[in-house]
């Protein structure tokens, strides 16, 4: 049994060690390529181990750069990126490796384990999706397309950013600030010629603030119009991007970009994605219309696009609002962590024991994880905000469970990082309920990674898991943060020890599901638009026509014709979500479906929870999630349970 790696990162010598490691890797690769009879054991496994070691060396630096950021970590990190990129680009273009993998797969596929076969198949697929196997002329064209695509994406974001920054709306009459929280007014305040004025922009906090709270309808309309008509020049870029993506997909042997995107996803074909989205749409429409009618009744007027956030907020305040401060005393950080651990112990029989280690910060802690007294993994928690930490919350995997080239078992480890209020020796860190949900979410990812029993590191834990399935375990666990039985394990008032009353738990669920069917329709509009837009070549007016057609089913308010939402849809035109926006909902369906089966079985003695541990968590990325999910549930995912989770009947 191997020990866990010690967390260390020598910034002063990092780049030298990195260069030396890469030099050594290149030398061993050349040597390996000379082997005459290449096999999984003498060629693939050593390559995998080489990559694993580089990863294990690199992860502490990227972790440190995120949680203890300094000019030194930044310098070392940015100096290392081009080195890593050059190395991995060379590897991904090496045809000798590609051919060797193909040959080994052909010769050994009946004697290799399914895990090893999947390693080979995924590697071969990676080569083929980048076109490494094609003739030189095609490769050159693919290269051109990639360069052009990244330029267009960059221009798309830049235009959007310029348009966002170019606009401001100045309020001089304080009457127009009515309804806005004092903090928002303060942020907007500036002085000109000795006069107090207030500036609202299209940047997120500012725009949302006025749209949500501003009582002057004319100003809301003006801001809305400016926002949804940003960057009209992006329409031309959209055409270019769509055309290039279509060409690229065809060169790589796919009918369209949607098919290309699905090659690495769990959803098997275009029809499954569209059917899935349309089923959810069909089942949410009635309730969405009811919610909208309720909102209009409450508003006492016909609601326009620029009214909906405003009246939703008023309605929420009146009927659904949660006072975070009322909840915080029940969610003291230490007892939340202990309670979450005890929940995991009861459901998955995994125990956590704190290990006394010196880590990167005194507020970071390590826990060893045991199952049936056997040490199986290590978890690092770093939960409190500090200046040197990047915002947000995430799970970062470090070691992966596998057997090394000598057959020795190696254990997994992962970091869970959050930004909760800092505690001091006299004041505890009291969380919002949202924070508790976040912690459960990241812990869901961490369990997926650390509980893996897979022997091949490239498909162990979260490695090799399809993009549209990777949020399944995190969303699954996060749902329990709303379950009375689970909350009562730890949600006790930190001074009075009173357990969080049912009434308050019920309120959390009600607030979560506020106007949820309307929200569902909006997400489905984005998902369907994105997916259909990439399923054949749309150009010019056809893009708008597609959106208009979809809105007939998804929009409850007539969208003004000046609204050019697509010109700001950066997720798909400047991010990685093209033909993949549906993934959010896809993973939610898997998690809601499994979640309710566990809840309906009583949670703590649930057979499904045991199967979930054995099949999904232990299985990692060694089989497609499509296969694993069917093994778990004995059927395909049922969208009904996502509706139930959102309170949609
Ligand atoms: Zn996540």
Q: Ligand 1 centroid vs 644 CA: distance in angstroms?
A: 21
Q: Ligand 1 centroid vs 497 CA: distance in angstroms?
A: 32
Rounded CA gap, 256 and 236, in Å?
A: 20
Q: Ligand 1 centroid vs 326 CA: distance in angstroms?
A: 27
Q: Ligand 1 centroid vs 578 CA: distance in angstroms?
A: 19
Q: Ligand 1 centroid vs 642 CA: distance in angstroms?
A: 17
DSSP 456-511: SGGGSTTTT--TTTTTHHHHHHHHGGG-HHHHHHH-B-TTT-PBPPHHHHHHHHHH
pLDDT of res. 371: 96
- Residue 221 among the catalytic residues: no
Catalytic residue of the set 332, 384, 442, 466: 442
Q: Ligand 1 centroid vs 392 CA: distance in angstroms?
A: 11
pLDDT of res. 322: 84
Torsion sign over Cα 467, 472, 477, 480: positive
Q: In what order do the strands lie in the sheet with 394-397?
A: 350-355, 364-371, 374-384, 412-420, 394-397
Partners of 200 in the β-ladder? 169
pLDDT of res. 2: 52
539, 239 in Cβ contact below 8 A? yes
Nearest CA-CA partner of 160 in 237, 231, 226, 236: 231
Nearest CA-CA partner of 441 in 467, 459, 422, 418: 418
Residues with Cβ < 8 Å from 348, sequence gap 6 or more? Answer: 447, 451, 609, 613, 617
Nearest CA-CA partner of 594 in 549, 632, 647: 632
Residue 81 burial by Cβ neighbours in a 10 Å radius (0-12, 13-18, 19+):
exposed
Rounded CA gap, 189 and 191, in Å?
A: 7
Rounded CA gap, 173 and 170, in Å?
A: 9
Rounded CA gap, 340 and 506, in Å?
A: 20
Q: Which residues of 337-361 are buried (b: 16+ CB within 10 A; e: fewer)?
A: bebbbebbeebbebbbeeeeeebbe
Where does 300-410 have alpha helices with state H?
Answer: 308-319, 324-327, 333-348
Q: Ligand 1 centroid vs 182 CA: distance in angstroms?
A: 33
Q: Ligand 1 centroid vs 397 CA: distance in angstroms?
A: 13
Q: Ligand 1 centroid vs 358 CA: distance in angstroms?
A: 28
Partners of 413 in the β-ladder? 378
DSSP 342-365: HHHHHHH-EEEEEE----SSTTEE
Mean pLDDT per block of 10 residues along the chain (649 residues) reads: 84 98 96 97 97 96 96 96 93 94 98 98 96 95 95 96 95 95 94 95 93 96 97 98 98 98 96 97 97 97 96 92 91 97 97 96 97 96 95 96 96 97 93 96 98 98 97 98 96 96 94 96 98 98 98 96 97 94 96 98 96 98 98 96 96
Q: Which residues of 414-443 are buried (b: 16+ CB within 10 A; e: fewer)?
A: bbbbbbbbebeeeebbbbbbebbbbbbbbb
Its pTM stands at 0.94
396, 415 in Cβ contact below 8 A? yes
263, 125 in Cβ contact below 8 A? yes
Residues with Cβ < 8 Å from 203, sequence gap 6 or more? Answer: 164, 165
579, 534 in Cβ contact below 8 A? yes
Rounded CA gap, 641 and 591, in Å?
A: 9
3-state secondary structure at position 2: coil
């Amino acid at each position: 049994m191997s020990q866990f790696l010690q967390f260390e990162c020598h910034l002063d010598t990092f780049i030298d060690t990195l260069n030396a490691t890469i030099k050594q890797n290149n030398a061993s690769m050349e040597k390996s390529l000379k082997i005459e009879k290449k096999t999984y054991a003498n060629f693939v496994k050593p390559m995998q181990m080489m990559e694993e070691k580089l990863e294990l060396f690199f992860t502490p630096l990227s972790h440190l750069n995120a949680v203890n950021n300094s000019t030194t970590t930044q310098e070392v990190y940015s100096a290392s990126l081009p080195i890593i990129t050059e190395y991995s680009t060379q590897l991904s273009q090496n045809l000798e490796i590609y051919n060797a993998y193909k040959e080994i797969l052909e010769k050994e596929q009946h004697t290799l384990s399914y895990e090893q076969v999947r390693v080979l198949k995924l590697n071969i697929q990676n080569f083929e999706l980048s076109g490494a196997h094609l003739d030189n002329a095609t490769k050159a064209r693919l290269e051109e397309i990639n360069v052009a695509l990244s330029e267009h994406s960059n221009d798309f974001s830049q235009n959007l950013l310029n348009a966002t920054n170019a606009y401001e709306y100045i309020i001089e009459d304080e009457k127009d600030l009515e309804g806005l929280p004092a903090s928002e007014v303060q942020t907007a305040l500036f002085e000109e010629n000795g006069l107090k004025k207030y500036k609202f922009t299209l940047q997120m906090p500012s725009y949302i603030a006025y749209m949500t709270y501003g009582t002057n309808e004319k100003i809301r309309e003006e801001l809305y119009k400016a926002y949804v008509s940003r960057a009209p020049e992006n329409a031309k870029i959209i055409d270019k991007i769509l055309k290039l993506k279509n060409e690229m997909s065809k060169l790589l042997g796919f009918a369209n970009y949607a098919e290309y995107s699905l090659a690495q996803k769990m959803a098997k074909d275009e029809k499954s994605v569209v059917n899935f989205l349309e089923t959810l749409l069909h089942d949410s429409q009635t309730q969405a219309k009811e919610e909208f009618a309720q909102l209009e009744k409450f508003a006492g007027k016909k609601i326009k696009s620029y009214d909906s956030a405003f009246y939703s907020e008023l309605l929420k305040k009146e009927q659904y609002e949660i006072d975070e401060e009322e909840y915080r005393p029940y969610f003291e950080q230490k007892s939340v962590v202990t309670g979450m651990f005890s929940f995991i112990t009861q459901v998955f029989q995994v125990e956590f024991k704190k290990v006394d280690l010196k880590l990167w910060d005194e507020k970071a802690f390590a826990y060893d994880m045991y199952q049936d007294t056997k040490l199986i993994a290590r978890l690092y928690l770093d939960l409190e905000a500090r200046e040197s930490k990047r915002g947000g919350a995430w799970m970062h995997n470090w070691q992966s469970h596998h057997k090394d080239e000598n057959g020795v078992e190696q254990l997994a480890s992962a970091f869970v990082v959050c930004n909760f209020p800092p505690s001091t020796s006299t004041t505890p860190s009291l969380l919002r309920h949202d924070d508790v949900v976040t912690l459960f979410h990241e812990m869901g990812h961490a369990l997926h990674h650390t509980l893996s029993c897979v022997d091949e590191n490239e498909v162990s834990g979260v490695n090799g898991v399809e993009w549209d399935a990777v949020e399944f375990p995190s969303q699954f666990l996060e749902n329990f943060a709303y379950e009375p039985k689970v909350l009562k394990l730890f949600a006790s008032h930190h001074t009075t020890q009173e357990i969080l009353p049912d009434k308050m738990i019920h309120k959390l669920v009600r607030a979560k599901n506020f106007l949820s069917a309307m929200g569902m329709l909006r997400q489905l509009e984005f998902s369907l638009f994105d997916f259909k837009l990439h399923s054949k070549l749309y150009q010019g007016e056809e893009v708008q026509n597609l959106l208009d057609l979809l809105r007939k089913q998804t929009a409850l308010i007539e969208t003004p014709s000046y609204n050019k939402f697509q010109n700001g849809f950066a997720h798909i035109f400047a991010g990685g979500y093209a033909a993949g926006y549906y993934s959010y909902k896809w993973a939610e369906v898997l998690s809601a479906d499994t979640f309710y089966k566990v809840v309906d079985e009583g949670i703590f003695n649930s057979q499904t929870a045991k199967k979930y541990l054995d099949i999904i968590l232990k299985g990692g990325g060694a089989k497609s999630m499509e296969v694993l999910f069917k093994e778990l549930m004995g059927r395909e995912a049922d969208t009904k349970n996502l509706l139930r989770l959102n309170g949609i009947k």
